[in-house]
A = this chain, B = another copy of it.
């Protein structure tokens, strides 16, 4: 099996998806001729045609709205938004139409589309290029929310997303695009939604994360192991649907948990997880569930970005304080 980075895994998956289903179309800004700003769609227009890999005008609401119409009429569009910070102009289309047509029409019309969006900080980019606002999608009924952390998962979850009968927000961790390589089967193997992955087994506490934070959490876990603390690391992979059983099961065993999330703290997905854990496993908890999160600040620009993104140090410190039970 070939080793690929996460970006290459996505390209591979898209190539397979396009080849196996003639109803799939890719559309977005610069996805065609130039292969996307992260080159995820590189070569796909040449291979599958300009009527299937489509450069659009600069108009995010138009991209999502057109993709919605295509999906309603029987195609399976995969739209790309260039960065999560540029998805907000399309938020109305997502909330008001994409997520709702099935319910509005009691299953008569559906919108099986995927919206791929690079997200997250850590590459010192300009403002709006570093957002982690997955929570606003998780809060929107009718959207599935997927965030892979490894190359194989990226490909496998994308395959599942493309075949899903409902709309999927597919968030791609920018700083993981080329951070590590991993084995990716060719063709990729679908990864089911709603199944968290145990990335590390441990009995002292549970560290819960997803997407771009997972590699850092694994580093932190190694660090903790050096200090005699064995952390279990859960990678959620999909926020909606959520593998609640895996979360509760692990915390019930370890009695302690920290959730690591890059997004802003207030009403982030970590809040949802902490609330759920105390609801379902309060009597197992030996210490408060800790949240290690980005702050309620704008993500800083390059020179101060490191103050925002939770790093290994903050994760380790939080884990230690959870172990101390304070």
Chain A interface residues toward B at CB < 8 A: 61, 85, 88-89, 91-92, 95-96, 99-100, 103-104, 127-128, 133, 135-136, 138-142, 240, 263-264, 266-272, 274-276, 278-280, 282, 285, 287-291, 295-298
Given A96-B128, A128-B96, A141-B297, A275:B282 Cβ within 8 A = no
Asked whether, in the complex, the Cβ of B136 is within 8 Å of the Cβ of A298, the reply is no
The chain B residue sitting closest to A239, CB to CB, is B266
Q: Which of B95, B127, B290 contacts A88 (CB 8 A)?
A: B95
Return chain B residues, CB-CB under 8 Å to A263: 139
Q: Which of B127, B272, B274, B298 contacts A278 (CB 8 A)?
A: B274
Return chain B residues, CB-CB under 8 Å to A290: 279
A298 to B127 alpha-carbon distance, docked (Å): 33
Sample of 16 further A-B pairs with CB below 8 A, known A88-B92, A267-B268, A275-B291: A91-B91, A91-B92, A100-B298, A103-B297, A104-B298, A135-B135, A135-B267, A138-B267, A139-B139, A139-B267, A139-B268, A141-B296, A271-B275, A274-B275, A279-B290, A282-B287
The chain B residue sitting closest to A91, CB to CB, is B91
Q: Which of A127, A278, A279 has the most B CB atoms < 10 Å from its CB?
A: A278
